[in-house]
Chains A and B, each alone.
Chain A
Amino acid sequence: MAVEAQEAAGQAAATGPKRRSHTGLATAGLLALPTLWLVVFFLVPVVLIFLYSVNIFSLYPGGQYFTLDAWKDFLDGSPFLDLFWKSIRMALIVSVISVIAAYPIAYYLALLSGDRKYTLLLLILAPFLVSYFLRLLAWKVILGDQGVINSFLYWTGLRAQDDPLSWLLYSQFAVILTLVYIYIPFVALPIFASLDSLDRRLLEASADLGASRWQSFRKVTLPLSMPGVIASFIFVFIPTIGEYFAPLLVGGVEGTMFGNAIADQFGQSLNWLNGSVLSFFLLLVVALLMAVFARFLTVRRVATG
């Protein structure tokens, strides 16, 4: 958008005011549909959710009036706030592990020469051919009391038949494990992109100047790939805070997350007031985080580029 605007401005400056109005119209025309889409399917619903959260709209007819009671209840030590922090904590763990695990993969791929790297990249992306839902379900088969891991433990005699590792499934551990598994290919992509575009001459220069491979990595490669790392981190962190499926399928009693609470409020509890508060709060926090990350990203780019 910024580039377009610049181009438009440049052209306008070159050809005078008559031309400007023309390009302005074209830009407006091109942007109209996406803007309309955003307004109708994002901004309007967000405003509505806000209005529900302050009881200006409500599920049942009658009794609509402005009140911040639901917000006060939520912020005043409700269990949902604790659940929110738990979700943030779990999202942090998932994103850090995913990034650390994906980095070597991306690094290896980026440094490969020729077409081989794209073949391998495709292989890494292959799990996306199977639906997210099915991949989660598959983990249930692996982690259950009679699952692959426990069966192996019984077989080797490391564990008695009636004493399975039951924390493998229906636990926070299971949620974190499955999410990390799901996100690794996702996370490898932006890191791969930033490493792939790395100027190799910098590494040669660093070697020429006597840096060890580790030093080169730490002082050259890692800082230059930071935008990719941060982008990957955001890719995982933001959606994981509101994660719904994984806790539902493998989380059990202890693995519940904030997204499940929101779904329950709108669904089985029919408490749209509270649900709207939770949703809007999540939206606020995520928007805030995005703003912070975006700023950080740009600063890094400027500093390193």
Chain B
Amino acid sequence: MSTERDGESRERTLGRDTFLKLGAVTVGSGLLAACGAEGAPEPAAQATTEKKEAPPIDTEPGDLEVFEWAGYEYPTYGGKKGALSPYVDTYGKPKYVFLTSDDQAIGKVRAGYRPDTVHPCVDYTGNWVEMGVVQPWDTSLISNFKDLEPALVKGGQIDGQQYFIPADWGFSSPLYRSDKVEPEGGVDSWALLFDDRYEGKISWWETPLENFVIWGYVNGIENPWDMTDEQLDEAKDFLISKKHLCRNFWSSQTDFEADFIAGNIWIGYSWGGSYMAAKKAGLEVVYSDPKEGRLGWNCGFVLIADTDNFRHAHEYVDTWVSPESALWNINNYAYGMSNTNLDLSKVDPDLVAVFHLDDPAAREEPRAHYARPLLAERRAAYAQRWDEVKAA
């Protein structure tokens, strides 16, 4: 990866982190709350269930507005004559508004903001649907839909409706220094994150869900994305008893990489990009294939319920999940893409290996577990306990 590409990819991953979230929380919460009270969205349950008969595309205003991660906008993404130009050349450049995290995006839409489409991650789909602000996609209008990875497509369905079109994805797995760390019995496992031998050298991800999910997989829970309150309480007690092993909980990928490279941390929950960064820094590292399976994150598009640009949104997303876009994203940002119709000879072999791009089975259950949509009530149950772990 070139430095420039690296910089771009970081810009985007930074977008997910807590620093920028601050903007939404400190500045936003007060104001959003203020606007939200008056402009609180109506319970729009009917909008999400009734099938909209879309008018032809040339009767739409065409002023598509995309609520997007920085770095995923035309022309930064793909270049001027690149991945998104088929849409832009035909329908014009969409208006982009940038989101800094999933919860900031939810807060902004909750306060009354209405783009045409948003790029959240799959585990938040439930929240979007429950807020009553999104509608299912008409997948027959997306020509690339048939080539999208079935596991990811299924993950975007709620009540049999395709509320979420999967686009970018990546693995999450323990990253460790092989010169300092010897996994128990020589077998890679998520349990490495709870290994007493490495007190003070471990970093968990600062996230409301995944640490519980990891506990679930380590303890053989059937669906760790939907655990009972009792299981969550047990996990909470376990995490509290182990959190002293952690040097920190990382919330920014760049910070995590800096700490890892500086030797402050030897073991951490990580995304593929951090493995690439550590390797480039000359460290002896393993991006493990834990026996419980890797975790996977996946982001994509939801369609706002009352959009005037129904067909434009479909065209745009169709372009976004095209093979051209997929190749560009993999090669430039080192993320995976949902489109499976790829010419792997055009991808950096290192990336093919890290993402197992040549081995679809490695990206499916039981070897990989993608994040799944959670109902708001369940997310809150996880989050509440994670906050208690941190506060304890």
Q: Is A214 part of the binding interface, using a Cβ–Cβ cutoff of 8 Å?
A: no
| Chain B positions within 8 Å of A274 at CB level | 384, 387
Q: Which of B340-392 contact A (CB under 8 A)?
A: 376, 379-380, 383-384, 386-388, 390-392
B246 touches A263 (CB 8 A): no
A267 touches B103 (CB 8 A): yes
Q: Is B127 part of the binding interface, using a Cβ–Cβ cutoff of 8 Å?
A: yes
Determine the distance from Cα of A48 to Cα of B28 in the docked complex, in whole angstroms: 13
Closest Cβ neighbor of A48 among chain B residues: B33
B33 touches A144 (CB 8 A): no
Binds B, one of A7-15, A54-62, A218-226: A54-62
B208 touches A269 (CB 8 A): yes
B388 touches A267 (CB 8 A): no
Q: Is B151 part of the binding interface, using a Cβ–Cβ cutoff of 8 Å?
A: no
B41 touches A253 (CB 8 A): no
B131 touches A61 (CB 8 A): yes
Q: Is B43 part of the binding interface, using a Cβ–Cβ cutoff of 8 Å?
A: yes
How close is B289's CB to chain A, nearest CB, in angstroms? 27
Q: Is B31 part of the binding interface, using a Cβ–Cβ cutoff of 8 Å?
A: yes
B43 touches A261 (CB 8 A): no
Please, what's the 1-or-0 string for B242-258, where 1 marks a CB less than 8 Å from any CB in chain A?
A: 01101111010000000
Chain A interface main SS type: helix
How close is A297's CB to chain B, nearest CB, in angstroms? 28
A79 touches B392 (CB 8 A): yes
Please, what's the 1-or-0 string for B9-20, where 1 marks a CB less than 8 Å from any CB in chain A?
A: 000000000110
Determine the distance from Cα of A96 to Cα of B100 in the docked complex, in whole angstroms: 37
B387 touches A267 (CB 8 A): no
Determine the distance from Cα of A270 to Cα of B109 in the docked complex, in whole angstroms: 13
Q: Is A299 part of the binding interface, using a Cβ–Cβ cutoff of 8 Å?
A: no
| Chain B positions within 8 Å of A52 at CB level | 33
A248 touches B251 (CB 8 A): yes
Determine the distance from Cα of A271 to Cα of B44 in the docked complex, in whole angstroms: 21
A271 touches B384 (CB 8 A): yes
Determine the distance from Cα of A237 to Cα of B356 in the docked complex, in whole angstroms: 53
| Chain B positions within 8 Å of A147 at CB level | 262
- Of B30, B43, B390, which is within 8 A of A41 by CB? B30
A-B CB contacts (within 8 Å), total count: 131
Closest Cβ neighbor of B247 among chain A residues: A170
How close is A62's CB to chain B, nearest CB, in angstroms? 5
Please, what's the 1-or-0 string for A40-65, where 1 marks a CB less than 8 Å from any CB in chain B?
A: 11001100110110000101111000
Determine the distance from Cα of A96 to Cα of B379 in the docked complex, in whole angstroms: 41
Determine the distance from Cα of A166 to Cα of B131 in the docked complex, in whole angstroms: 45
Contacts A57-B37, A145-B264, A263-B22 given; indicate if A270 touches B380 (C-beta within 8 A). Answer: yes
How close is A74's CB to chain B, nearest CB, in angstroms? 11
A145 touches B391 (CB 8 A): no
Pairs across A and B, CB under 8 Å, 6 listed? A61-B42, A61-B44, A244-B26, A260-B390, A262-B25, A271-B387
Which B residues lie at the A interface, using CB under 8 A? 18-19, 21-22, 24-26, 29-31, 33-34, 36-37, 40-44, 101, 103-104, 106-107, 110, 127, 130-132, 200, 206-208, 243-244, 246-249, 251, 259, 262-264, 376, 379-380, 383-384, 386-388, 390-392
Given A146-B262, A170-B248, 13 more A-B residue pairs with CB atoms under 8 Å apart are: A61-B44, A79-B388, A79-B391, A82-B392, A147-B262, A252-B248, A256-B391, A263-B21, A263-B25, A264-B390, A266-B25, A267-B101, A268-B101
Which A residues lie at the B interface, using CB under 8 A? 40-41, 44-45, 48-49, 51-52, 57, 59-62, 78-80, 82-83, 144-147, 166, 169-170, 244-245, 248, 251-253, 256, 260-272, 274-275
